Structure 1
């Protein structure tokens, strides 16, 4: 604490006073109570292995010496009491460490084992066979922007039921008109071989496919019959 002159009345005033006692001018120097912040409390550290062994070994040696001749019963009681207390102390420290480890492991396990949310299932866009064929006839670019890469559901009349040059199974679908071009060329995997073998020309079927674009026909892959 120091004595300084008040700027207003030139009277002596303590630098720790909140205001001048003569004229009432507030002291510009902040008032401190002289206290220092306490360091944050730290968690108690568990007893180390070597320290635990030392705590246990010394009472055992002490108790063993009291078993010899010439040792009083009082000395033996004190030695074995000390041994029991040491065992209890080490056991308590080990138990608290195990509980802390178990809690940490359980929280980590629960966070890891939480199932990830399943992605939303894609919904097929329903479109008429005449609509998609008309769109690709009129403007291929606009039709690609609308259909390409999308999953569609379309119903049409069966045209050809064939295999391409690489033995991929496909069925052409159209409106039923004669010599229709383009048509939807739907490709199927080999697991659909039996179902495709039962189809007939002109039969109406509904398929779900992913559109690839126009190449003579409107190509569609990964198809299955609904």
Structure 2
């Protein structure tokens, strides 16, 4: 008998807790979404206009993968001054498509050397996986990326396929 009363007590407190969370969520939602009368009146007085579409980021430089890699091979400091933290449009041939140790998708761009171990590596987000799955070795591509400098390879981050 005592065990049954204990179960009822737990059920009651559980029901009260869920109800309290429900009320709090409704109050919180109403505070965040309810328009004020002054905003509504101001909106009604103004003609509505479509929001401006986001502007495409400005490309700072257009280079080939070979030019970018050679610039870093000749003088890393000068290349950083010219390319690092800038938005680049880099064209080249696909050498490899894969994922790094952290499972981040990338495309390695050929730098033209027959036995090159290092090169240009363009990193993408997971949303790009369907497009990356259609690439093949030797295919010409152009990517827009932010240059992250040289860490063995010339690293390109936040990339999109053009």
Q: Does 1:217 align with 2:162?
A: no
* CA deviation after TM superposition for structure 1 residue 146, in Å: 0.7
Q: TM-score, normalized by length of structure 1? A: 0.46
Q: Does 1:163 align with 2:99?
A: yes
- Unpaired runs of 5+ residues, structure 1, are 1-105
> Residue in 2 aligned with 1:195?
131
- Unpaired runs of 5+ residues, structure 2, are 1-41
CA distance in 2: counterparts of 1:220 and 1:120, whole angstroms: 18
**Larger RCO: Structure 1 or Structure 2 (Cα < 8 Å, ≥ 6 residues apart)?**
2
CA distance in 2: counterparts of 1:120 and 1:183, whole angstroms: 28
CA distance in 1: counterparts of 2:80 and 2:126, whole angstroms: 27
> Residue in 2 aligned with 1:208?
144
What RMSD in Å do the two structures reach over aligned CA positions?
Answer: 2.4
> Residue in 2 aligned with 1:174?
110
Give the count of matched residue pairs: 115
**Deviation sequence 1:95-122 (CA, Å, 0-9, x none):** xxxxxxxxxxx9xxx9xxxx9xx98942
Structure with more of its chain in strand, by fraction: 2
**Deviation sequence 1:99-155 (CA, Å, 0-9, x none):** xxxxxxx9xxx9xxxx9xx98942341112221111111111111111000000011
CA distance in 1: counterparts of 2:126 and 2:57, whole angstroms: 24
SS in 1 for 2:146: strand
Distance 1:158 1:120, change over 3 A: closer
SS in 1 for 2:82: helix
Does structure 1 retain, via aligned residues, the 8 Å contact 2:97–2:107? yes
CA distance in 1: counterparts of 2:154 and 2:124, whole angstroms: 14
Distance 1:120 1:174, change over 3 A: closer
Q: Does 1:135 align with 2:71?
A: yes
* CA deviation after TM superposition for structure 1 residue 207, in Å: 0.5
Matches within 5 A, 1:65-80: none
